[in-house]
Amino acid sequence: MTLKLYGRLQSTNTQRVILILKEKKIPYELVEVEFGQNNQPERLQFQPFAEIPYIDDDGFILYESRAIARYLVAAYPEHGPTLVPPPSVGVKAQALFEQALSVEAFNFYPTVSSILMERLLKPFIGQTPDEAEIATLTEKLDTRLAGYERVLSKSKYLAGDEVTLADLFHIPLLTLFGLGQIDAFTNDEKVKKWPSVARWANELVQRGSVQS
Amino acid sequence: MATLKLYGVSTATCTRRVATVLHELKVPFELVEVPYKNGEIKTPEFLKFQPFGQVPYLDDNGFILYESRAICRYVAAKYASSALLPTEHQANALFEQAASIEFANFEPSASKAGLQLYMSKQGQPCDENVVKEQLAVLEKKLEAYELILSRQRYLAGETLTLADLFHLPYAAYVTYGGSDIMTRRPNVARWFNELISRPAWLAYQDGVKTTTVY
């Protein structure tokens, strides 16, 4: 039975899963969940937080986009790029991969998604973006990007020389930097401070799985 | 083979998150208290070890690792006798789902509310609006937790995993700061009370300290 992905194309969390499905060339069927329909009882039994996406893999239900991505990569090791360190590399390499995943989750995602909520979600629901808050968040993001530079000036990707899920997880929000007026990688003065990060970010959004 | 060194702040949430897991697994460690009040963790010397200028980080005989949850995962994987990180395919997926729930659905609001409430309890200025707003967010999230925990004992299934333990620092801050949000629902209360009574958590009530004997 083809894997079913319950979500919405406009949702960055759904996009995160679609990205991995494309990278791994895994067949799937997207079941569109309309905006505002997450908390229907028949959905809550599968996803108790009334969020999307979630998958149904032949009766096995899983939610949280990053957990789904890990599951897919483990389930299809022979398809496409490995995207995770192979078991043979040992606990230390595995730990550096987990470190990189944690960096995305705690040092990138919360700050960037907050900025995007101000710039994109608020106008959508008729509210005014809080510019002071955006300024504070941007300063925080700049500090974090300086951290990323320290890492990416020494290795090609976040967990080493091969691309992994830790890098790919950034893509959905990176693709919204333009629309969200985040100039971290378009402002020349800023790019001078983190050239390796800019290189890495631009390369990620150019991946075939993103462009298709 | 030298003892693991945990570089952190004895009263900090993330340092305690790691210490709790080390204690659960009975792994000896030395706490190296890192000064931070005068910008010490933003110096080039420190940034060489932790490029984001944050604590904690681990030094395992020269192997440096940061991000508290990554450190916890490393320790659990290294001491493979622990069930804290299931490896079987579906059990692992459900564990990762639970770990992601903590990151996405608990930490954001619990940490923001928890930090303010903690500061208030310490007699420092606290932003009441943030507390109110974030507790309202957390309230809704805990409805889902109640649903999950009414069906199974822990977040990933019937056994305790790292995902449950990850919640402790901010769940405790919120509670210590005076909110009863963690005990308003029967199953969340059952789960929270069990976690908060674990010896590994209680061991560092007065701050994380070097632990070489268990």
CATH number attached to the domain at B89-198: 1.20.1050.10
Percent pLDDT > 90 in chain A is 86
Q: Which of B51, B108, B148 lies at the smallest CB-CB distance from A48?
A: B148
Same domain? For A103 and A207 the reply is: yes
Task: Provide the number of structural domains found in chain A.
Answer: 2
Q: Same domain, yes or no, for A194 and A95?
A: yes
Residue A124 included in any domain: yes
Name every chain B residue with its beta carbon within 8 A of the beta carbon of A151.
51
Q: Can you give the three-state secondary structure of B87-113, one letter per residue?
A: CCHHHHHHHHHHHHHHHHHHHHHHHHH
Check if B127 contacts A (Cβ < 8 Å).
no
The C-alpha of A109 sits at a distance from chain B's nearest C-alpha, in angstroms, of 10
Q: Measure B138 CA to nearest chain A CA, in Å.
A: 11
A37 and A98 part of one domain: no
Whether A71 and A99 share a structural domain: no
pLDDT band at A6 (very low <50, low <70, confident <90, very high): very high
The whole model's pTM is what? 0.96
Q: What was the pLDDT predicted at B148?
A: 98
Q: What is the bridge-based pairing of β-strands B29-33 and B63-66?
A: unpaired
CB A107 within 8 A of CB A144: yes
Whether A58 and A91 map to the same domain: the answer is no
The interface predicted TM-score (ipTM) is 0.96
User: How many whole angstroms separate alpha carbon B145 and alpha carbon B137?
Assistant: 13
Q: Which domain holds residue A19?
A: 3-75
What residues of chain A, 10 to 49, have a C-beta less than 8 Å from chain B? 44, 48-49
Of all residues in chain B, what percent are helix, strand and coil, respectively (each to 5)?
A: 55, 10, 35
A26 residue type, one letter = I
CATH architecture assigned to B4-82: 3-Layer(aba) Sandwich (3.40)
Is A81 a domain residue?
no
Which residues in chain B have their CB less than 8 angstroms from residue A50's CB?
A: 144
Q: Are A26 and A129 in a shared domain?
A: no
Instruction: Give domain status of residue A80, yes or no.
Output: no
Contacts of B52 in chain A (CB under 8 A): 103, 107, 144, 147
| Spatial separation of the C-alpha atoms in residues B23 and A99, rounded to whole Å | 21
A33/A132 same-domain check: no
pLDDT surpasses 90 at A149: yes
Where does a domain end: A75, A104, A128? Answer: A75
Provide the pLDDT for residue B49: 97
- Same domain for A160 and A110: yes
Q: In this predicted model, what pLDDT tens digit does every residue of B59-79 receive, in sequence order?
A: 999 999 999 999 999 999 998
Residues A56 and A146 in one domain: no
A82 within a domain of the structure (yes/no): no
The encoded tokens of residue B161 equal 């995993």
Q: Are B13 and B169 in contact (CB under 8 A)?
A: yes
Domain boundaries in chain B? 4-82, 89-198
Q: How many CB atoms lie within 10 A of CB B42?
A: 13
A184 pLDDT band, cuts 50/70/90, is very high
In this structure, are A37 and A126 located in the same domain?
Answer: no
Q: Are residues A118 and A69 in the same domain?
A: no
pLDDT at A77 over 90: no
Question: Residue B182 has what pLDDT?
Answer: 98
Instruction: Please tell me whether residues A99 and A196 are part of one structural domain.
Output: yes
Domain boundary among A53, A75, A97: A75
Which residues 156-185 in chain A show a CB within 8 A of chain B?
A: none
Which pLDDT score is estimated for A43?
A: 84
Domain containing residue A170: CATH number: 1.20.1050.10
The stretches in chain B having pLDDT less than 50 are none
User: Does B104 reach chain A within 8 Å, measured CB to CB?
Assistant: yes
The string of DSSP letters for A74-111 reads: HH-TTSS---S--GGG-HHHHHHHHHHHHHIIIIIHHH
- Which residues of chain B does A101 touch, with a Cβ-Cβ cutoff of 8 Å? 70
Nearest CA in chain B to A44: B144
Question: Is a pLDDT exceeding 80 seen at residue A111?
Answer: yes
